[in-house]
Chains A and B, each alone.
Chain A
Amino acid sequence: MLSDTGSARRQTRLYFLWLSLGLFAAHQLVELLIAVLRHHHALDTCYWDCKWYAGISEYGYSLNADAVKHQANWAFFPLFPMLVLGAKTVTTLSVPLASVLLGKLFFILSIYAFIEFATRYAEQVPPLCAGMVAALSPYAIYGNTGYTEPLFLLLTCVFFIFLKERNYLGCGLVGAALSATRVPGILVALPYAVVVVQLFWSAPRDKQLEMVLGGLLIPLGLALFMLHLYQVTGDALAFVHVQKAWGRPPMGNPLSVMAEGFQRGNIHLIWALMSLTAVLIALYLMFTGYLTLGVFSLFCTLIPLATGLQSMPRYIWWQAPILLVLARVVSRRPLAYALMPIFLMGLAYMYMAWMAVKAWVV
């Protein structure tokens, strides 16, 4: 009986893996098609943040900010560039190419992890719908551009799977990696606290120790990054302070930022609408029995929003809980038929914009 269950589980995993590979291949075809149409090399997609990450992999964190724009690579977290450095050392590829290829590898893994996550948190979502949302939504473009988003989605999905299984040490270790991946990574401490607070006093002593240790491990990645920044620049919070060089205040009012986006119109209006949708989805999750997912998404949206609208799509459409709600919407057949062609056209349009080096797609 047990062996039958194990075998069925293996079969399911194998199906998820092939599904992930198939959807990843479909995404690559869209990219390749646009690249051929635009006479662009398909692997030459390392622009903007990818170049910052590549710079960190090659030269480490800089001592000084740029003399003209006052920008510095302190804003970019270290885990992805460290892994790129490892990949470059093993393969002898150039750093930008290693960044793009490693990003693609994490993209495949993140599609697989998201399917596993979605089927655990919402059993009614078909794996195909979950995979399609992760692999083919317009902002899935960042899975192919040497950005840190696929690694973030992968780690977030693994974290929430561990949290559901009450694997506190696993949560702590993955949380430590997340807090070294992107600014919102540290926010997994919130859903962790939500679970631990409810179960701590009724748990046996050994389990309580595990809970505390897991929670204390989560900020470790960020703490080590801060120590390194302190050593290099003299300011452990340089990653926050340097945001000003991109025209972002350290902390504004998210509501004012959204209101300003509505007033300015054009692309700012779209970003503001996306941010409002993300906040509403987070609240919906919180009040429909998904408190852990909702709390994470709410803060994961509001904190980047407090610094401006520019990069909000990347912060929103790579959040596992938001994608989960989208997968639930898409799993209703009539909507799926309407949304998926729009997604594919959106993805193709994003690639055209990316290859034309349009600044709004950053």
Chain B
Amino acid sequence: MGRVSRFYALIIVVLLALYAAIGFYVLHPAASVAYSQYFLSGEQAASTHR
């Protein structure tokens, strides 16, 4: 495996780790709890918009 290929493989591992971290921690349902403090439910917001 050449130096460039090893570099590509390293970046692939870093990206996979980043996406896994986002999937497990950031997109976890509990992560959205804080959001509810800032925003109404969809129905309320839509009726206000209308």
Instruction: Tell me the A residues contacting B by CB distance below 8 Å.
Output: 63-65, 68-70, 72, 205-206, 209-210, 212-213, 216-217, 219-220, 223, 226-227, 230, 233-238, 241-242, 244-247, 249-250
> In the assembled complex, which residues on chain B have CB atoms less than 8 Å from the CB atom of A69?
48-49
Residues of B within 8 A of A236 (CB): 22, 26-27, 31
Residues of B within 8 A of A72 (CB): 38-39
Q: Is the CB of B8 within 8 A of A65?
A: no
Contact call B38/A63, Cβ cutoff below 8 A: yes
The answer, among A64, A205, A217, A250, for a CB contact under 8 Å with B15, is A217
Of the A-B pairs whose beta carbons lie under 8 Å apart in the complex, a sample of 7, sorted by A's number, is A68-B48, A70-B40, A209-B12, A213-B15, A234-B31, A235-B35, A249-B46
CB distance from B27 to the nearest CB of A (A): 6
Q: Nearest CB to that of B6 among chain A residues?
A: A209
A234–B34 CB distance below 8 A: yes
Also in contact, A247 and B39, with CB within 8 A (given A213-B12, A230-B31):
no
With a cutoff of 8 Å between Cβ atoms, the chain A residues found around residue B5 in the complex are 205-206, 209
Given A213-B8, A245-B49; A235-B31 close (CB under 8 Å): yes
Distance between Cα atoms of A281 and B24 in the complex (Å):
39
Kindly list chain B residues whose C-beta atoms are within 8 Å of the C-beta of A244. Answer: 42, 45-46
CA distance in complex: A65, B1 (Å)? 51
Contacts of A219 in B (CB 8 A): 19
Q: Are B18 and A241 in contact (CB under 8 A)?
A: no
A250 nearest in chain B by CB position = B42
Contacts of B11 in A (CB 8 A): 213
Which B residues between 1 and 50 are near A, CB-CB below 8 angstroms?
1-2, 4-5, 8-9, 11-12, 15-16, 18-19, 22, 26-27, 31-35, 37-40, 42, 44-46, 48-50
**Complex Cα distance A70/B44, Å?**
10
**Are A209 and B19 also in contact (CB < 8 A) when A230-B26, A247-B49 are?**
no
CA–CA, A210 to B7, complex, Å? 11
